[in-house]
Every structure is written in structure tokens, then in C-alpha cells.
């Protein structure tokens, strides 16, 4: 957003650009015309092109901080409740937290039949954390970025779950657990599952292996990309509606109505996606525990 009034596409691009800290490669020409030194340079990206040029050696500072911040809020709230959790009459925040905990516990009991002390806390963390990240989507999209702009920070994406790194990061975490428990619980059975299903004949081993591995790998990707896609789309619509406000005075009323309608719809999507992410996490781990 270099000029005083950005075009719509500039506005959208700006909203979709993370605050990126990373290493620019040797000889890269920056936006202000300077060149990066021979060893490359770690710095804040100015704009989407620079962020893209950084490749894998970059970190989305905003996604990371918001995500960790929300995670800390989750831990803090739940820990403070856990510390004063007594068997007496619960009230206020304790009620809310216990409601969530009980809900997660019931879902885990319905889906997961093995014995594993990790699953329920994992599901709780996933659910509340994702829910909090998704809820950031309801904060008016220009509010926080404009405040940060006043403080001199030019890019700010406050919904971590619209960043595929965040959702795929969590999905990969789940994937590693799936691998670990598959091998731990099934042992050789896991190899057999990969090679002997769905066609139980030695001649089909390559076909089976291919299909099973694709299916196995698809799980974390679908898990991560589903959350990302839903939230990204939601965010995108919010940005487009916000852009509509700048289309003229007569667009104000329909844009406002759209904003409300989409907000209400999104209110459904936010907990739903958090719930789906949690349930799929449980289901995948439950599958990793079940020996055929």
C-alpha cells in the first residue's frame, strides 16, 4: 500500500500478505532499488514479492505470534481454571471451561476406543486453539492492521488459520503422531496394512502400497487444507465486502448487510471447522490404534 488510496487489488493483496521475516537471496533487487549482499540477508520483507523470493527461509511473524499468543491465552485460561478446579459448586469461567472439557471428553469417548492419555488433551488443545484462531476472523479486518500501521508495521494478518503454514503445521503434527502410533500399536501389522489392503494378494503389493501411501498422506493434507481453505475463503469474502465499501456511497448499505450476513454465516463456520479439525484428529489417531 504505497500510495494514499490503494486500488482494490492492492488492498486485497495487502490484506493477504503476511508480515514476513526471512532471508533474501544473493543479488536480489529490493523494492527500493538496493541489492542484497552476497551472503543473502535476513530482514523484514517489504511486500509480497520479497516475501515470495525468500522461499522456505522465512517466517510469518504475524501468524506465528498470533498463533502462539492465542495458544498461550488458551493455556492460561485453562490452567487458571485447572488450578482452582475444586469439586465444589463451579461458577463463571470454570463452568465454561468444564463445559468445553466435557464436550471434548464425550467426543473422544464416542470416537476413540483405545487407551491413550494423549488423545483427549490433544483434542482439547486442537479444538480450543483452532477455535480461537478462527475467531480472529470476526475481528473487523481493517482494525488491527490499521492499528499496526500506526505503530509502523505495514503488514499484519491476524487470522493464523488463514495461513497454510499454520494449519499444515498442526496437521503434520497429527501426521507424526499417526505414524508413531501406527508403528507402535500395529508393528508389523502396519506394513501389512500398507501392502496387503485392499487387494490381499502378493501380486498387488505395488498397487496396494501406492494406494495406501497416497491415502495415508492425503489425511494430513486434507486435514490442514480443509481448515485453511474454509477460513481463507471466509477471510477473502470479508476482504471483498470491505472493498465494496470503497465502491461508492450507494454500496454502503448492501455492503453492510452483506457484512452482517456473512458474519452470521461465518459464526457457524468458525466452530464447525474447529470441531471438524478436532474430530478428524481423533478419528485419524483412532485409526492408527485399530488393528485390523
Partner 1 sequence: MNINLTLIGQMIAFVCFVMFCMKYVWPPIMAAMAEREKKIADGLAAADRASHDLELAQEKAVERLKEAKHEAAGIIDAANKRSAQLVDEAKQAAIAEAERVKLAAQAEIEQESNRAREQLRGQVAALALAGAEKVLGAAIDPKAHADLVDKLAAEL
Residues contributing to the site for partner 1 (CB under 8 A): 16, 20, 22, 51-52, 54-60, 63-64, 67-68, 71, 74-75, 78-79, 81-83, 85-88, 90, 97-98, 101-102, 105, 117-118, 120-122, 124-126, 129, 163-166, 168-170, 172-173
Rounded CA separation 25/172 (Å): 28
102 or 110: CB nearest partner 1: 102
Q: Is 200 a catalytic residue?
A: no
Let me know if 210 is exposed, middle or buried by CB neighbors in 10 A (0-12, 13-18, 19+).
Answer: exposed
Instruction: Answer for the pair 19, 152: CB distance below 8 angstroms, yes or no.
Output: no
| Cβ atoms within 10 Å of 242's Cβ, excluding its own | 17
175 or 190: CB nearest partner 1: 175
42 or 265: CB nearest partner 1: 42
Give the nearest distance from C-beta 9 to partner 1 in angstroms: 15
54 or 255: CB nearest partner 1: 54
Query: What SS3 class is residue 89?
Result: coil
Number of H helices, E strands in the chain: 10, 3
Q: Which of 165, 230, 246, 286 is catalytic?
A: 230
Give the nearest distance from C-beta 121 to partner 1 in angstroms: 4
Q: Which of 80, 95, 222, 246 is catalytic?
A: 222
Instruction: Answer for the pair 91, 63: CB distance below 8 angstroms, yes or no.
Output: no
Q: Which residues contact 75 (CB under 8 A, 6 or more apart)?
A: none
Backbone angles phi, psi at 42, to 5 degrees: -90, 120
- The answer to whether the Cα torsion of 196, 201, 202, 204 is positive or negative is negative
Q: Is 222 a catalytic residue?
A: yes
Give the nearest distance from C-beta 213 to partner 1 in angstroms: 21
Q: Which residues contact 213 (CB under 8 A, 6 or more apart)?
A: 194
Give the nearest distance from C-beta 94 to partner 1 in angstroms: 9
Give the nearest distance from C-beta 166 to partner 1 in angstroms: 5
Q: Is 226 a catalytic residue?
A: yes
48 or 209: CB nearest partner 1: 48
Q: Which of 30, 165, 226, 286 is catalytic?
A: 226
Residues designated as active site: 222, 226, 230
Amino acid at each position: 500500500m504505497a500510495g494514499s488510496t490503494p486500488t482494490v487489488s492492492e488492498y486485497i493483496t495487502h490484506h493477504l500478505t503476511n508480515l514476513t521475516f526471512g532471508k533474501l537471496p544473493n543479488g536480489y533487487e529490493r523494492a527500493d532499488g538496493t541489492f542484497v549482499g552476497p551472503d543473502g540477508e535476513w530482514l523484514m520483507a517489504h511486500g509480497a514479492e520479497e516475501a515470495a523470493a525468500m522461499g522456505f527461509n522465512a517466517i510469518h511473524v504475524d501468524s506465528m505470534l498470533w498463533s502462539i499468543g492465542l495458544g498461550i491465552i488458551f493455556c492460561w485460561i485453562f490452567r487458571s481454571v485447572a488450578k482452582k478446579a475444586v469439586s465444589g459448586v463451579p461458577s463463571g469461567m470454570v463452568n465454561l471451561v468444564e463445559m468445553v472439557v466435557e464436550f471434548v471428553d464425550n467426543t473422544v469417548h464416542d470416537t476413540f476406543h483405545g487407551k491413550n492419555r494423549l488423545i483427549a488433551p490433544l483434542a482439547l488443545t486442537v479444538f480450543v486453539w483452532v477455535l480461537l484462531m478462527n475467531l480472529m476472523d470476526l475481528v473487523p479486518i481493517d482494525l488491527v492492521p490499521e492499528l499496526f500501521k500506526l505503530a509502523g508495521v505495514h503488514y499484519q494478518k491476524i487470522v493464523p488459520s488463514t495461513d497454510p503454514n499454520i494449519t499444515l503445521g498442526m496437521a503434520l503434527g497429527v501426521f507424526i503422531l499417526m505414524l508413531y502410533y501406527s508403528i507402535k500399536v500395529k508393528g508389523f501389522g502396519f506394513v501389512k496394512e500398507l501392502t496387503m489392503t485392499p487387494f490381499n494378494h502378493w501380486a498387488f503389493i505395488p498397487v496396494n502400497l501406492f494406494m495406501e501411501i497416497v491415502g495415508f498422506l492425503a489425511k494430513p493434507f486434507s486435514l490442514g487444507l480443509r481448515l485453511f481453505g474454509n477460513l481463507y475463503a471466509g477471510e477473502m469474502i470479508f476482504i471483498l465486502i470491505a472493498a465494496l465499501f470503497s465502491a461508492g456511497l450507494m454500496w454502503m448499505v448492501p455492503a453492510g448487510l452483506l457484512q452482517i450476513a456473512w458474519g452470521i454465516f461465518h459464526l457457524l463456520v468458525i466452530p464447525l471447522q474447529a470441531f471438524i479439525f478436532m474430530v478428524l484428529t481423533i478419528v485419524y489417531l483412532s485409526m492408527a490404534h485399530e488393528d485390523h
